[in-house]
Amino acid sequence: MSKPQIGIIMGSVSDLDVMQEAAAALDVFNIAYEVRIISAHRTPEEMRDYAKNARKRGIKLIIAGAGGSAHLQGMSEVFGSVPVLAVPIKRDNHDHEALWSNIKMPKGAPLAVYPENGAYNAGLGAVQFLALADDKLHFKYEAYREILRKEVVEIDKAVQKDWREQVPKS
């Protein structure tokens, strides 16, 4: 197993259903990561230590997800040694408190915030950042985008032929 380059952390095991998407994106590119449950409210010391020590452990980026008051993302950035990509977690019984908490960071605390439950895109964002210093990964990312492009071109052809056939069945 190679050394993890990305730390996927979340406030509760109940966040795993959303945060596993970040891992899925990293898996596409064979990027090594670790998954940890670290809570700003229930394990604050562990959160501080994790963020402080990430860089010297070889972690290049943290992807952090939490819902509710969602202090994990911002405080990991504040204590931290590497950039943090935040995923605000939104459940049906929540308002947008996690999103608001993440995007209201003050000047000097540059938390990068992805959409609510946008863990897959946060994973892809991490790939893009790593690709800045890795040409092989950059070409892999370009190839991935080409696949997305071709899928749309194909569906566009089918729609031009008979759009009625392409209406999603509910």
Q: Using CB under 6 A as the criterion, which residues of the chain lie in contact with ligand RP5 when the complex forms? A: 10-12, 14-15, 39, 41, 66-68, 89
Shortest reach from residue 41's CB to ligand RP5, in Å: 6
Least separation in angstroms between CB 28 and ligand RP5: 25
Query: Shortest gap between Cβ of 142 and ligand RP5 (angstroms)?
Result: 34
Burial class (CB in 10 A: 0-12, 13-18, 19+), 46: middle
Nearer to ligand RP5, 10 or 126 (CB): 10
Q: Which is nearer to ligand RP5, 98 or 126 (CB)?
A: 98
The residue number whose beta carbon is nearest to ligand RP5 equals 11
Cβ proximity to ligand RP5, 66 vs 84, nearer residue: 66
Exposure of 77 in the CB half-sphere (CA atoms within 13 A): 23
| CB-based contacts of 70, cutoff 8 Å, min separation 6 | 11, 40, 88, 89, 97, 98, 101, 102
| Rounded least distance, CB 121 to ligand RP5, Å | 18
Q: In whole angstroms, what is the distance from residue 95 CA to residue 158 CA? A: 39
Where on the phi/psi map is residue 111: left (φ > 0), alpha (ψ -120 to 50), or beta? beta
